[in-house]
Structure 1
Amino acid sequence: MRPAPSVTPPRVAVLADDLTSAGDGAAPFRRTGHPARVLLSGSPIGGPGGGPGGGGVLAVDLGSRLLDETAAAERAREAARDLAGAELLLKTVDSTLRGHVAAEVRAAREGSGRPAVVVAPAFPAEGRTTRHGVQYVRGVRVDESEFARDPAHPVRTADLARVLPEAVLVGADRPEELTELLPDGGLFVCSAATDADLDRIVAAVPDHRAVLWVGSPGLAAALARHHALPGDAAGAAGLPPARRPLVAVGSANPATRRQLALLAAEPGAASAVAGGPADLPGAAAAPVRILHTPHERRADPAELTRLLADSVAALAARDPFDGLVLTGGETAEAVLRALGAHGIDLHDEPEPGIARGTLAGPADVPPVPVVIKAGGFGDERTLLRLHALLTGNRG
């Protein structure tokens, strides 16, 4: 994943452990005027399908959440080294602390060569807050929430002092401490319960180029507000409404399953389990088309994801769709690979933590509008709204 020497570093680089994290890390910058591309792991940064040069935002999906800790750390280290020339370097982490958080943060710090790390994983818009160095989701410690029972990546602890014992804890009421402490370097974990708390953290850092930022969409949005380009916010007015969209659901998160149930109950909806005898038989004219993994996870999650991606690709070949909604980072990555895409050119952020754009890749990959969403994000009507967003039926 090393860029050619002639490649101009992006203004903003986002390193993420899965595709939805890359999307929701870059989307706030798109909203504030920056051109942005999300790139699948293994895609050449400077080659065809690579990201924008100076002035743009490049978000790289490292694909590291599925790796073991050692391999994940090496991938984060290499990517941080490759993109160390960016003016702003953000390493995303899951706002519920899933994945190889500590190993990837330490490796990215080493690779970037930046003396200080500011960690702020709160995402208030989705109820994820950090209080006294402990991570909560809607008032419940993440290690006591449904994320502790995640079948693929269960959360073991909510205490960031245990995740990163070398860190200095910075209270939500004392962000100005960063101004005094950062020049000496070190790793700082910042508590935050509101977007205003995150804005104060960003404002307290005197030199953004000297810092490796670590956080979720909440911190990305605060950084984007601070670095907003002048003029009107970027939009997606040029995206045509989809007439034959497809919703592909691979996340096992209960929030997404509730969203799926509501969407599948829409009049005329056609829904099928991926890999079944016939995926969406006779559903060509259905107003809502859904492919999903089984509700009961008796098989290997990776195998279920592969089956879903293969089913989407097969449907694209025989009954093409003109819009996609993808839920879950591993699902989104697998589907894009199956379709031959290298990434996504971002257009906007329709809701906090949700990214919309078009498929990017070789000439034979059509620029189909696509919306990606992490499995745990949104309320019960989120998939309904995203489907309506693609079709233009928002009344």
Structure 2
Amino acid sequence: MSPPESRLFQAAVMQSWNAIVITDADLAAGCRVQIANPAFCAMTGYSPDELHGRPLTMLQGPETDPAVIAELRACLKEARFFEGTAINYRKDGSTYVVRWNITPVRDDDGVLTHFISVQRDISESVRAEREIRLLARALDAASDPILVTDARERIIFANTAFAAVTGYAPEELLGKTPALFRSGKHDTAFYADLRESLARGADFRATFINQRRDGSLYHAEQSISPIYDEKGRVTHYVSVSKDISERVDMEQALRHAATRDTLTGLYNRRYGEHLIEDALTRADTSGEPLTLLVCDIDHFKRINDGFGHPTGDQVLRDTARILSQSVRSRDAVIRWGGEEFVILLDACPRGPAVELAERIRLRIHQHRHVEVGQVSLSIGLATRMPGESMEALIGRADAALYEAKRSGRNRLALAPLP
């Protein structure tokens, strides 16, 4: 090697950002340090003089992995390239994680003369990896379902709780998007709000109705947040949710109990009065007509007395079913009490209401009960007059019902027009 090349080699070694140390090849003496560059001295805390002539075993300690050292010695003995990671000790006794490779050096005659080792302190990256693994374990151990996606909404992490709620194994979800859980229960406005919130950097919180792997639905209180890098760019989204299906089911059960008749499943009278009052308020604002039907099963006492109350209850349930199937989706069928029903025909003028009432009467009469046979229904109809109260409207429909009864039953009677 020419003097210029030698100087260049020396400069490259001494100015290298990586720690470089050159030892002799005397394995019996432990391969003593010949040259240590400034980066190596800074990493170990030793000066060049303190290192020179001493074996690098001085950097080992209790936490140094014996298996790595055994592999290192085997490679040195066979003059093979070595690469490994271990815990070393600085002069002050502190530890660091070093990643290093060792290359045997031979002279022109092929005789092994030295080993050159290029080393790097990877303590910070190892610590960061450990923290990431710890965070991943913590997220996985969390009781609430957690989902993380990249900026393109592809799933990169789902914890055990999320997998348990959705029925998907975590590995099944990787690379998919949260669209996998859409149930079809949310409209486009819901998802537009979600995207608008995330686009302006705000969290999005809502109750989602999601679909599990088996197709069943569940309710989740869910919070979705964007994650930014140091330049303010969105890199990921994290979703934390809570399965509230049990709570929703309980609330729905309580709401059903508060608004529904236990025997027929129709609206009960208390809630029915509330529906009628709301309809009257809307009618006052919109000016649309509103019609009320009051229906009564004819000779119901005879059914109870002759066939027993269980049969009477079945007649009530069958009647409720036919009434519900006969009205429009916007109408409300109410069990008013006993064998009496009220039907609220919202935004329905007198003419169409009469046609609907007649269809109902005929369907009831055409239906044959297993034990009772034919059952008939008497109906009173009243279309609301401007400003008329609920009590007055029901009173007129009730009077029409009694007229239908008095006229022979199984008929429709209309409240007189003003």
TM category (shorter chain) comes to under 0.3
**TM-score relative to the length of structure 2:** 0.18
**TM-score relative to the length of structure 1:** 0.19
Q: Larger % of helix: which?
A: 2
Structure ID, larger Rg: 2
Relative contact order, CA 8 A, sep 6+: which one is greater?
1
